A and B are shown apart, each in its own frame.
Chain A
Amino acid sequence: EAQVTQNPRYLITVTGKKLTVTCSQNMNHEYMSWYRQDPGLGLRQIYYSMNVEVTDKGDVPEGYKVSRKEKRNFPLILESPSPNQTSLYFCASSFGTGELFFGEGSRLTVL
């Protein structure tokens, strides 16, 4: 089954404790991206990747890092999480600029 898998789905953590949200897709998509969704602000792009070893900043990259060492994986790293990073995060992938397939979402709370 074609899918984008994110883990963890839910996480409560404390300020400053490094965490990684994993994202994996099994569709051989070149393009992968991360979004955060906040009430009244819609979906805002954090980082995107056009292919392996190619990443670029989206609209709200501050406080986040990504890597794309393999085509299928695109982890989102929060080196020192802060409460303003409490949000719902979505990973998505696609062939080029085509249909985006979204993961189920990861709800992160930073205390």
Chain B
Amino acid sequence: GQQVMQIPQYQHVQEGEDFTTYCNSSTTLSNIQWYKQRPGGHPVFLIQLVKSGEVKKQKRLTFQFGEAKKNSSLHITATQTTDVGTYFCAGTGGYQKVTFGIGTKLQVIP
């Protein structure tokens, strides 16, 4: 079945450093979404990528969708303490099945 691998599982960074999390799907995706879950909260939608090679930016966050539509990344420039949380990718494959990555838990050290 469809699998979405996400790495790393944990990341500690000093405030001001950059952070990147990567997702890789076993199958071609129709789209990929990214979510952020603050500690004790629920996942909140960040963005959706649909096109091959697509790059989108939201302030300090840059999202990429690979040319083959099987991988994606989220890069945060100059992390802040407000970036703390777990970041999930979610890929939509056949039969509109959505599969989440395991998530990357980001800790930012002030």
Contact = CB atoms under 8 A, between A and B. Distances in A.
Contact of B98 (A90, A97, A102, A105): A97
B1 interface: yes
10 contacts: A33-B98, A35-B100, A42-B6, A45-B99, A48-B97, A98-B48, A99-B45, A99-B48, A100-B43, A102-B43
A88 B23 CA distance: 23
A100 B45 contact: yes
Place the interface of chain B in its size category. 20 to 34
A44 interface: yes
Given A43-B103, A59-B1, A100 B42 contact: no
| Chain A interface residue number, banded | 20 to 34
A103 B43 CA distance: 9
B100 A44 contact: yes
Contacts of A98: 48
A56 B95 CA distance: 10
Most buried by A among B6, B9, B45: B45
